[in-house]
Amino acid sequence: MTAKLEPNVMTKVSSWLTGDYDIDTKQSIQQLIDEGNDTELTDAFYKDLEFGTGGLRGLIGIGSNRMNRYTVGTATQGLANYLNKAFPNEEKKVAIAYDSRIKSDEFARIIADIFSANGISVYLFEALRPTPELSFAIRLLGCKSGVVVTASHNPKEYNGYKAYWDDGSQVVAPHDSNIIDEVNAIQSIDEVKFEGDNSRITKIGAEVDEKYINHILSLSISKGALERQKNLKIVYTPLHGTGVTLVPALLSKMGFEAVTVIEEQAEPKGNGQFPTVVYPNPEESEAMSKAVAKAREIDADLVLGTDPDADRVGIAVKNHHGEIQLLNGNQTASVLIYYLLNAWKDAGKLTGTQFVCKTIVTTDLIDKMAAAYDVNCYNTLTGFKYIAQVIREKEGVEQFIGGGEESYGYLIGDAVRDKDAIASCAMIAELTAYAKDKGLSLFDMLMEIYKQFGFYYEGLISLTKKGKSGADEIQQMMADFRANPPKTLAGSPVIRMDDYKALTTTDFTSGTTSQIPSGEMGIETSNVLQFFTEDGTKFTCRPSGTEPKIKFYVGVRAALEKNEDFDAVYAALKDKVKSIGEELELK
């Protein structure tokens, strides 16, 4: 073996070569050794996959830092061990779903076998299904946990594993670290029980679909508008993912009669290759391009696009120039929350005990709107599991209306405890119909929000830093920002820094530092920094928990007096975000 490998990498490589791993895996490792491919060996073995904000996620391939039969198996055995300890002398059931990615169905079956071999009953979806339906199924079927096999919107080379708890949310503290402890306690692949017990595995499908769809239909607010605007022109693309299993049927049940599905992106299998897109991510304009082109062709009112596991949705609408324009996640979240707040107010349901919830990197426009309606707005760390944590903690005390995050994830009501693109598609279609019923487009509604509450604009600068060297570079960038905070941003003095790793708030004006409360309300130690300026600009630094990226979020705001000023104000805000990225040399 090459002497250039670090000792911990050499140890792991040796254990895979001598352990009870299949012959193909061993031959692949040996080939990398023979080729002297130290970079690939290091990246594949320098660490174990860890639970981040989205669970277990990585490139498909051999090694402890890759998604394969053994890393999936070890994670599942650790979770099974923890479930048996956490719920002794109780019946334990889990639900499992999977998306259209490479090996998703294979991994799902491995997971089912391991749970069943550990005495845990399994509900396994018979075919691919959306992630939010898995969350719904956990609650519906009384499961203690659940797993969905997906890498969400990542490139085709990735797959992943999201673990859920008994309330239908992704695992949070202390369960996440406890599960990792159980996984790390496994010393040998021989401890993983791969031989399943078929008597404990039950296939599920249509019966759960029906109950899930009926739940979403029950969330409808403006039934009259739906009836009057049944000819609303909608274009939908599932981007080769699971959304195709439910969204078209759901829109039909809502009464929409002019829904166009992008057929070349409606075949979910595609061998997990996502053949018509570079990235199956509705945040990317390229991924939405076919749907947008179709919308222009047929003069559609709304474009909807869901990612492979259908927990995120991107949209496009006619703007004030009559052109089809993509909205970002902050804009969509704002319109959704505004619609819900107005509907609850009109129904006389706002009693002062309602709340909405969002992440700390999502637009502060939602905070502003919620305050105007006397509704609490709670801010959490990035990751929908933290929003679910707040819902759980407030259950029986305050009523959840809706929530979201800038990365295109939204939730209406609390029957699901994860971002839900299926329900979001339904509600976005409904609010578009509601607006049209009043002679407005969804974009007109957005401009009304800006005029009333202020024009908030958010930009995202995302830098990809791959492999171990990239991870080291990201950590150094964070250390530099902590050691030398920016004094100004776009000419405005920085007056405050929130450090979620140290859980401290520093007021630069007074020179005082105080603690950020943690342990509840979606806040815990996390490697995140936020800077606030005198003019209301917010700048956030956050390494991704699931991708080799560091993300910088820049939020700016200005007044919008009239619709005619939109383009000029928008351009000025975009320039301000760009200037901040340039002055901080984010590259």
Active-site residues: which are they?
A: 152
Closest C-alpha among 143, 90, 176 to residue 386: 176
Annotate 556-568 with three-state secondary structure: EEECCCCHHHHHH
Do 75 and 49 contact (CB within 8 A), yes or no? yes
Structure tokens at 340: 């819900």
The two beta strands, 354-359 and 376-380, are: parallel
DSSP string, 480-521: HHHHS--SEETTEEEEEEEETTTTEEEETTTTEEEEPP-SST
**H-run or E-run covering 237:** strand 233-237
What is the torsional sign of CA 208, 210, 212, 215?
A: negative
63 — alpha (psi -120 to 50), left (phi > 0) or beta?
Answer: left
Q: How many CB atoms lie within 10 A of CB 64?
A: 20
CA distance 490 to 574: 12
Whether the bond between 88 and the residue before it is cis, its omega within 30 degrees of 0, is no
Residues 307 and 244 sit within 8 Å (Cβ to Cβ): no
Instruction: Record the tokens describing residue 345, joined without a space.
Output: 């107010």
Distance CA 412, CA 345 (A): 16
The Cα–Cα gap between 152 and 526 comes to 22
Name, in order, each residue with C-beta under 8 angstroms of 325's C-beta and a sequence gap of 6 or more.
316, 317, 318, 319, 443
Q: Which residue, 60, 45, 38, is CA-closest to 11?
A: 45
